Structure 1
């Protein structure tokens, strides 16, 4: 395992006076690169299945490490926790500026450019030089981190280009019976460390919770490395008296991991006026006890939280809701905002306005599997907006962000996974979440970059030779 050392020089030059403010700092290195090179969840880097599987080409995309796997920079308005496992700061501290390993030819004013003449490989490392014009990268800067070239392009998204920072590492074609597709597409949680997958289904006033073994980091004597290798360990059926899925031909409902020791189920039908009725179930993970009920949400105009319809050939799914920190977020019927509903107190309802009329399209194109609301870490992402953990609405360039997803995005370290597809073409998708922190460098004092100043950052990363 190689070790690295970094040194940063940040120069702010006032265009009016010509004076330059210079800060020199050293950094700490995170586990980001060693994670990417050292772990292989679900054997995603092994070619084990059909000829139509797609896999990332490492050279040029990720290697050499500099300037690819490490080839961008992120600048933050608040200090970062100095921890080797701090790969993704909270969305309360989204980057105020960033840059990749190229010249910024876009209208994105948060993004600077690499100086391609001064940046170069060194005998024992790499010298990065980034420059920001007076109009670029303005704001308070308290911390800096190296990231991937993809993470430095648009971070999690911008007003100038489509990007969620997801790099497709592998796309596995699923040649499975539809009953197995239903199991995978109903996945509500993947426990990577323990190799467990939880799939939840509703049918005829019952909720069925199935636990499967999935070979994430180890493989049994009789297992293969594909999505047929799911071993059912347990199924628990809950008999409901109140909770159900609305609808008949298309059952309207969704199951979500609350991240708080509970799974939640919700069901409603879209309503353009009046009050909204929401059926709900709350399931405790450790003993599968549950509570259920019905809410009447006064003057709330909601899209259906989601739907799941079984088909003879493929499942049909839609996702319009997520749960974050004890609140259900649901898209508004009129595409003008999101409703935030306290899962423990349904009178606590807030409407978060977009401030614009969203196109409200699927994040993953149109098809038999669609998602209009997803969550990455603690950041909620839609077609043309993001909502940070403090419920700040951030308008972004509209566009599709992923392939057709039926499930939530399941995250493990830098890796993101989900299942989905469209009209008989089904896949498992594995992504790299690229705006990771490869280094952390807190400034000894925060600086303010404004439209009167240019900024130049020289970041030298070198290999540390340890004596034996």
Structure 2
């Protein structure tokens, strides 16, 4: 089956009634095929505990139109016309969008579906979206079909941000021994293609790295899909001189994947005044060689990077930092900004002001495990703010988006994975990142939507033999 899409954009001047019309055909990406054809970690099988929580496909994703394809994204820059291009980077986030219903919110970036004119066809679907003069304003150079959820708020807005993550499966791992759960909760990297994860922790004056096989795309004769049969392939202990987790009862520290051939460890205690002190370690992924040291960050007032505790009744990990493109991002103690610290030059430190005071809530419910920041593509996503690769701050609503979380999110194409739990309920949770590109439609010439124009987009998607 081959899909063909035709789009007509009509911009009508409310003062003169003059109509500007643009007609384009699109290319269809591999987005829908990936969702239907991939099954990493057996997420579509009922293979774990009795408290599994799996999505109901009918109504959420089926019929494909208007659910899995049920929204639209508008971009100010053109998109690479590649079938495997299913997400944009943070330098081209959608400027406008719409879902499969009427926008009843105050979000002016969002339009509405015309419920009368939109309908199923004998061989496809006809979508009609409308934007009032106050909605969807800006330069439009490209358009893409997306999921209904992805069209609600894109990557997040002040009106809502939970729609970006659609929970597909919460796999109950409560029967996994607590010590093994903590190993999973301390995951720093997942190598999906090679069925591997790397768990890293600090133990007194040493760092322990475990290379673990876990069934992702193939399964052994004696393996299960409930994380209970993972195999430790390597267990490496690095003896350190400077680096350790600071603190007494609460141990402060975090390990992050630099995505540059190294893992990084950091430890500091939050300081509301003076200068921050942080110990660090940089570990080679190839031979486990490392360098370590201590930074004194003049006049920097930081929150702690995170904390963890594997000795309590329930495994605990709290993540409050992020590493991106050679920089560590740590929130300011007063919740009014975030520090960007160069991993290779501690003197290169910048305070990025939010312009507001963050509510500083985790992406999940508060509990024994919490994640406050994670990386999605090259976009830092936190409770009520996002940081683009250009270090621009986007203020969002700050709603709960994730199940109980201990690890950052690990991405494979459409899917985001994380381990976590809270007070005796432990899960491996999988999400669908909803603002994907189901189609790509670059306009021959960009159009500009302004407050004196309405916009109507008619998108017809048909099946061809």
TM over 0.5: yes
How much has 1:314 moved relative to structure 2?
1.3
**Map of 2:156 onto structure 1:** 157
How much has 1:164 moved relative to structure 2?
5.4
- Tell me the matched-pair count: 464
Measured in 2, the distance between the counterparts of 1:86 and 1:229 equals: 35
**1:66 is aligned to 2:75:** no
How much has 1:21 moved relative to structure 2?
0.6
SS of equivalent to 2:48: coil
**Map of 1:446 onto structure 2:** 446
- Listed one character per residue, the Cα deviations across residues 29-63 of structure 1 (whole Å, up to 9, x for unaligned) are 11100000001000000001222111011111100
- CA-based RMSD: 0.9
**Map of 2:99 onto structure 1:** 100
**Map of 2:259 onto structure 1:** 259
SS of equivalent to 1:98: strand
Measured in 2, the distance between the counterparts of 1:297 and 1:373 equals: 22
**Map of 1:289 onto structure 2:** 289
**Map of 2:385 onto structure 1:** 385
1:379–1:387: 8 Å Cα contact kept in structure 2? yes
How much has 1:362 moved relative to structure 2?
1.6
2:211–2:235: 8 Å Cα contact kept in structure 1? yes
**Map of 2:271 onto structure 1:** 271
**Map of 2:191 onto structure 1:** 191
- Listed one character per residue, the Cα deviations across residues 346-369 of structure 1 (whole Å, up to 9, x for unaligned) are 100010111011111122121101
SS of equivalent to 1:193: helix
2:301–2:332: 8 Å Cα contact kept in structure 1? yes
Measured in 1, the distance between the counterparts of 2:2 and 2:214 equals: 33
**Map of 1:280 onto structure 2:** 280
1:134–1:452: 8 Å Cα contact kept in structure 2? yes
Measured in 2, the distance between the counterparts of 1:278 and 1:81 equals: 41
Measured in 1, the distance between the counterparts of 2:378 and 2:314 equals: 31
**Map of 2:37 onto structure 1:** 38
Stretches of structure 1 that go unaligned for 5 or more consecutive residues are none
Measured in 2, the distance between the counterparts of 1:3 and 1:94 equals: 28
Between stretches 281-290 and 409-418, larger displacement belongs to 281-290
Measured in 2, the distance between the counterparts of 1:145 and 1:420 equals: 34
Measured in 2, the distance between the counterparts of 1:365 and 1:344 equals: 35
**Map of 2:133 onto structure 1:** 134
1:181–1:314: 8 Å Cα contact kept in structure 2? no
SS of equivalent to 2:194: coil
**Map of 2:146 onto structure 1:** 147
Q: TM-score, normalised by structure 2?
A: 0.98
SS of equivalent to 2:193: coil
**Map of 1:345 onto structure 2:** 345
- Listed one character per residue, the Cα deviations across residues 406-465 of structure 1 (whole Å, up to 9, x for unaligned) are 001000000000000111111110111110000000111111101100000011111121
How much has 1:272 moved relative to structure 2?
0.3
**Map of 1:244 onto structure 2:** 244
**1:397 is aligned to 2:397:** yes
How much has 1:317 moved relative to structure 2?
1.5
Measured in 2, the distance between the counterparts of 1:266 and 1:51 equals: 38
Q: TM-score, normalised by structure 1?
A: 0.98
**1:436 is aligned to 2:436:** yes
2:367–2:422: 8 Å Cα contact kept in structure 1? yes
Measured in 1, the distance between the counterparts of 2:293 and 2:7 equals: 56
- Listed one character per residue, the Cα deviations across residues 190-249 of structure 1 (whole Å, up to 9, x for unaligned) are 111110011001101111111111100111111111110201111111111111110121
**1:212 is aligned to 2:212:** yes
SS of equivalent to 2:229: coil
Pairwise mapping of residues 353-364 of structure 1 onto structure 2 (< 5 A)? 353-364=353-364
- Listed one character per residue, the Cα deviations across residues 96-140 of structure 1 (whole Å, up to 9, x for unaligned) are 000000000111100000011111111111111100000000111
Structure 1 segments, 4+ long, off by >3 Å, are: none
1:72–1:100: 8 Å Cα contact kept in structure 2? yes
Measured in 1, the distance between the counterparts of 2:380 and 2:284 equals: 24
Stretches of structure 2 that go unaligned for 5 or more consecutive residues are none
- Listed one character per residue, the Cα deviations across residues 361-384 of structure 1 (whole Å, up to 9, x for unaligned) are 122121101122222111111211
**Map of 1:414 onto structure 2:** 414
2:152–2:163: 8 Å Cα contact kept in structure 1? no
